[in-house]
Chains A and B, each alone.
Chain A
Amino acid sequence: MSLKQPLLSLTGVNTYIGQSHILQGVDLIVPAGHVTALLGRNGAGKTTTLRSIMGLWRPRSGQIVFDGARLDGLPTHEIAARGLGYVPEHRAIFRDLSVFENLQIAERKRGDLDRALPKLHTLFPDLKRFESRAGRHLSGGQQQMLAIARAMVADNRLLLIDEPSEGLAPIIVGAIVEALKQLKGQMTVLLVEQNFRMAAALSDFYCVLDDGHTVRAGEMAELTSDAALTARLLGAG
């Protein structure tokens, strides 16, 4: 496994939600400049991994290192300020804010938005068209695009994207895949995705979780060329 310099690495991360032990020692490496897919069955701990990275659940033990510095134990807003953009499950855009305000709130420094806006509008032209529309009046696909764009307003070096295709029509998923493809090479991405074909098309590396453990990690090519291995790791699919 040829790994470049990792931008983010998790070592032996254990996270509890209430009494339940959800992450039971997750190891994960996200190489800089690449897309890494976090795969696994429902309930394997993928979303919890992202939330643990963001500090939304506090890991009880283990290390999370981003760009050489520990993240675990920091409050969420400081983690984000280190340069992590988070696109949560179900998108979580602000329904009462306009599209523009949804982007504005993600500014961390004055001028962030002015700088990012042209690029975001090229990636997602709809956002320009519906700039003053309230978030709740957007379609699911537009909300997803807004959520991704929101994570790119500030000068982030890593995007954590949770299930971008969830609940969207295939044609819209296609548009989002296209947009994310344009990001490849420019940004480091950790992608949680149930839809294996989408994950395979976008990612350079993968990591499979099961029952809160890391089962296997490697280059995506290894999975795409070995259907039997994929089936064994991810079940039918």
Chain B
Amino acid sequence: MITLGILALVLLDLFARFEPRVAVSILLSGLTLGAIYFLVSSGLSLIFGLMDVLNFAHGVLFMAGAYIGYAFYASGFGQSMDSNLRFLIAILVGGASGALLGGIMEFALIRPLYQRPIYQVLLTLGLTFVGTEIIKAIWGTVGYFMETPKFFNTNSPNCPSPSLLDFLADNCSSILILGRPFPSYRLFVILFGVLVFVGMITLLQKTRIGIVIRAGVQDAEMVQALGVNVRRVFTGVFALGTGLAGMGGVIAAPIIGVNLAMGQEFLLQGFIAVVIGGMGSLVGATAGALLLGLARAIGDQLVLSGLQLPWMEQALSLSPSIARASTVLIMALVLLVRPAGLFGKKD
């Protein structure tokens, strides 16, 4: 209810402030960001909900997925392949490497520490540091730019595509939405987020493993006493969560690039989304990610066009860093009102 209320207020303000086509394009930008945040926050939230581990290494696995996926996409190894196929495989490679690294991490390093929860947090923080240094050692300190595949990046005289249907034929890099061009790749990111969300909900609600996970979030010990090997489920869920993050890294790469700052940045946004939504709830993590994405999109727009409040004579122009920093304030606000988050189950 509260979330819907906030959402309604945000949207109302959005449409009051901007003309509809600008508002819609901000909304879509927000959903794009929200979809990427969701890929990070859903895993964080599930892992915390099930095994009480706050995984500070989530960001570095997001980054590792991006680098490894990019390396595959850009390497000569796949160059002969069609760029669309290459991109699809890159997403899978990023996801697989996130899942593999996360699974190994849980099994080898975190598992011995279930009796000492603080040390798990200390450990994952240390792994962030180590992981970043390893990536730096392999790929250097300069960032990379990842091109979108041909499917979202074809030049033709028709561009930008007048409609979604036309896009399927001409594959322009942007599509006209209410007469304003919007990058077609970002629409794909939104769609991808929706698909993952539906997949996760199906997994959690309709499968036996989903039942085990939902039960384990509440009482892992009791699940174990029913004969389920919870430790194996832990490793699986950890790998699932970090796999989503790794995939998210590849998905985000064509938008934000591949660089050493992305891990920290998205870990932080993931945390904020989870704090806003409430730990241990997939719906919460999703709602938090969407709210945050929208807030960022609106913030970026305001920063870009300059912030003019009624009592100001001149618009205040700011750098995008300010919009980035301001999301922390949103988190602080939510915490003050509802310390357990909007959908929180655990304190």
Contacts and interface: CB of A to CB of B under 8 A. Distances in A.
Interface of A: 54, 56, 75-77, 80-81, 86, 88, 92, 94-97, 101-102, 104-108, 150, 154
A76 B224 contact: yes
Contact of B228 (A92, A97, A101, A105): A105
A80 B224 CA distance: 8
Nearest to A108: B227
Contacts of B211: 97, 101, 104-105
A150 B228 CA distance: 13
B215 A105 contact: yes
B222 A92 contact: yes
Interface string B307-345: 000000000000000000000000000000000000000
Interface in B47-99: none
B150 interface: no
> Can you list the 6 inter-chain pairs with the closest CB atoms, starting with the nearest?
A80-B227, A94-B215, A76-B224, A86-B225, A81-B227, A92-B222
B228 A77 contact: yes
B221 A96 contact: no
B226 A150 contact: yes
Contacts of B291: none
B116 interface: no
B225 A94 contact: no
Interface centre among B215, B218, B223, B226 (most CB of A within 10 A): B226
Nearest to B218: A94
Interface centre among B214, B222, B227, B229 (most CB of A within 10 A): B227
Contacts of B228: 77, 105
B231 to A, nearest CB: 8
A56 B218 CA distance: 16
Contacts of B224: 56, 75-77, 80
Nearest to A92: B222
30 contacts: A56-B224, A75-B224, A76-B221, A76-B224, A76-B225, A77-B224, A77-B228, A77-B230, A80-B224, A80-B225, A80-B226, A80-B227, A88-B222, A88-B225, A92-B222, A94-B215, A94-B218, A94-B219, A95-B218, A96-B215, A101-B211, A101-B215, A105-B208, A105-B212, A105-B215, A105-B228, A106-B226, A106-B227, A107-B208, A154-B226
Interface in B257-301: none
A25 B212 CA distance: 35
Nearest to A100: B211
A94 B222 contact: yes
B219 A92 contact: yes
Interface string B101-130: 000000000000000000000000000000
Contacts of B230: 77
Q: For the complex, would chain A's binding face be called helix, strand, loop or mixed by DSSP majority? A: loop
B218 A104 contact: no
Interface centre among B215, B217, B230 (most CB of A within 10 A): B215
Q: Kindly state the interface size class of chain B when it binds its partner.
A: 10 to 19
Nearest to B232: A77
Nearest to B345: A96
Nearest to B225: A86
Nearest to B281: A96
Contacts of A95: 218
B82 to A, nearest CB: 42
Interface of B: 208, 211-212, 214-215, 217-219, 221-231
Contacts of A154: 226-227
Contacts of A77: 224-225, 227-230
Q: For the complex, would chain B's binding face be called helix, strand, loop or mixed by DSSP majority? A: helix
Nearest to A95: B218
Interface centre among A76, A81, A101, A107 (most CB of B within 10 A): A76
Contacts of B218: 94-96
Contacts of B208: 104-105, 107
A189 B270 CA distance: 48
B119 to A, nearest CB: 17
A202 to B, nearest CB: 22
A206 B311 CA distance: 82
Given A80-B227, A105-B211, A150-B226, 10 more contacts: A86-B226, A92-B219, A94-B218, A96-B217, A97-B214, A102-B215, A105-B208, A105-B223, A105-B226, A105-B228
Contacts of A56: 221, 224-225
A76 B227 CA distance: 7
Nearest to B229: A77
A94 B221 contact: no
A99 to B, nearest CB: 12
A132 B109 CA distance: 40
B264 to A, nearest CB: 33
B289 to A, nearest CB: 21
A80 B221 CA distance: 12
A10 to B, nearest CB: 18
A132 to B, nearest CB: 13
Nearest to B222: A92
A105 to B, nearest CB: 5
Nearest to A102: B215
A113 to B, nearest CB: 11
Interface centre among A77, A86, A88 (most CB of B within 10 A): A77
Interface centre among A81, A105, A150 (most CB of B within 10 A): A105
Contacts of A88: 222, 225
